[in-house]
Structure 1
Amino acid sequence: MGSETDPIASLTPDDAIVDWATDVPESIRVFEKFGVDYCCGGKSLDYACGQRGIEVQQIVDEIRIAAKNAVSEGASSKKP
């Protein structure tokens, strides 16, 4: 699966939340929805989800959907 089809393919739950927020800006809305602090420290996504009692896969799935929707919206807005 390439990055064209999966914008978060290069990220893992062991990566810092700030990396997710930087590489996939759409993740910020998901973090805010679940109350995950994305701007301070170098905590991994897995660690932060554990602290909040959230399944990491749920967050990853929602970020993937948000990122794909943003790509789709961007592509459709470029059509004449």
Structure 2
Amino acid sequence: MTNLGLESSVTEWVIEYPEVQCVLDSLGIDQSCQGKSLEYVCRQMDLEPHFVLKQLHEVIEDDSAINE
């Protein structure tokens, strides 16, 4: 599916999968987080990292299903 994970930066996620921007915005995650990992940013914001990761994967899957 994706080679990105919790250790990847928020910026990497947006560059590789622009469709995740809506999820990040809805959670208040700013993509300009100075290259910090998705996990780090989630923990700083008191968000469950694996929940956020699941949401990102769902958006990517939905977008790829639409584009097939």
Q: TM-score, normalised by structure 2?
A: 0.91
Name the one with the larger helix percent: 2
Q: Identical aligned pairs, as a percentage?
A: 24
Read off the aligned partner of 2:20 and give its amino acid letter: S
Partner of 1:73: 66
Q: Of the two, which has the highest radius of gyration?
A: 1
Alignment partners' CA distance in 2, 1:33 and 1:65: 14
**Which secondary structure state, in structure 2, belongs to the residue aligned with residue 43 of structure 1?**
coil
Structure 1 vs Structure 2 CA RMSD: 1.0
1:40 offset after TM fit, Å? 4.0
Structure 1: gaps (5+ residues)? 1-5, 76-80
The structure-2 alpha-carbon separation of the partners of 1:40 and 1:48, relative to structure 1 and needing over 3 Å to count, comes to: closer
- Residue 19 of structure 2 corresponds to residue 34 of structure 1: no
Q: Which amino acid aligns with 2:31?
A: Y
For 1:3-43, what per-residue CA distance to the aligned partner results, in whole angstroms no more than 9, with x for missing partners? Answer: xxx2x2x1121111100111111211111010011124111
TM-score normalised by structure 1 residue count:
0.79
Q: What is the number of equivalent residue pairs in this alignment?
A: 68
What does residue 25 of structure 1 align with?
Answer: 18
User: Which runs of no fewer than 5 residues in structure 2 stay unpaired?
Assistant: none
Q: How far apart, CA to CA, are the structure 1 residues paired with 2:56 and 2:21?
A: 9
Match of 1:78 in 2: none
